Structure 1
């Protein structure tokens, strides 16, 4: 298992991972179709934002990407792994790589909008919930989280 810089030709695989990972939480096919554009990783996105793949046995099984913000802050924009890898330490492996990379870039704060089902994962790593916003699904709120470095 290792981390590799994402290549533009990985966009189709990353989109597949994103959609399968999101569907893991039991969202309806109808809802997944509504989110399809938001869950699509484009070539332009990869060209514009740092992204890194988790590779296991020569297969991309997960990835993360982030946005550089002002004031030495970054936003963890995506962290997804295939459903069969969830709960087996792969997410933590990705997150540890991300945190090390961000610390080396001298960032002082990380923010993210968490999938509601992943909030505890981020809390275990040290993120704190600082707010939330309602999503397109009535009574479903997305936690806004941060970590100071």
Structure 2
């Protein structure tokens, strides 16, 4: 198993992983389609951002991406895993690699908007909830998480 910088040609598989991973939490196909723009990983996105994929025997199991918000803040923008690999330690593996990637930066904090069903995962990884916002689904709130370094 290796972690590699994503290629721009990985955009379709990364988009597929994102949609399948989101659907894992019980969202309907109709809802996934409503979120299509937000769940699509474009070639431009991969070219312009830090995107790393987890590969096992040429199969991409998952990926993460991050964005520098300013010189002291990084946003973990995406972290998605194929549903059959969720709950098997790969998310932790990706977060630890992300933390390793940024360790040389002079970052003071990491932020992210968490899938509500993944909030406990991020808490276990050392993030705290600092807020939330209502999503396009009435009554569904997305946690805003932070890790201070």
TM-score, shorter chain, exceeding 0.5: yes
Residue 104 of structure 1 and its aligned partner are, at CA, apart by 2.1
- Following the alignment from structure 1 to structure 2, what is the Cα–Cα distance between the partners of residues 53 and 60? 6
State the distance in 1 between where 2:81 and 2:117 align.
14
Deviation at 1:107, TM superposition (A): 1.6
Inter-partner Cα distance in structure 1 for 2:54 and 2:63:
5
Determine the structure 1 residue equivalent to 2:11.
11
Mean alpha-carbon deviation: is it higher for 101-110 or for 130-139? 101-110
Q: How far apart, in 2, do the equivalents of 1:88 and 1:51 lie?
A: 21
Match of 1:31 in 2: 31
List structure 1 segments (4+ residues) > 3 angstroms apart after TM superposition.
none
Q: Which residue of 1 aligns with 2:97?
A: 97
Q: Match of 2:146?
A: 146
Query: What are the superposed Cα offsets for residues 89-132 of structure 1, whole Å, 9 maximum, x if unpaired?
Result: 01111110001111122322100000000000000010000000
Alpha-carbon RMSD across the aligned residues, in angstroms, is 0.8
State TM-score, norm by structure 2. Answer: 0.98
Per-residue Cα deviation, 1:59-116 (whole angstroms, up to 9, x for no partner): 1110000111114210000000000000000111111000111112232210000000
- Name the residue aligned to 2:80: 80
TM-score, with length taken from structure 1:
0.98
- Measured in 2, the distance between the counterparts of 1:59 and 1:28 equals 26
- The number of residues matched between the two structures is 149
> What are the ranges of 5 or more consecutive residues in structure 1 without an aligned counterpart?
none
What is aligned with 2:127? 127
Alignment check: 8 A CA contact 2:71 2:106 kept: no
Residue 30 of structure 1: how far off its partner (Å): 1.1
SS of equivalent residue, structure 2 residue 37:
coil
Gaps of 5+ in 2: none
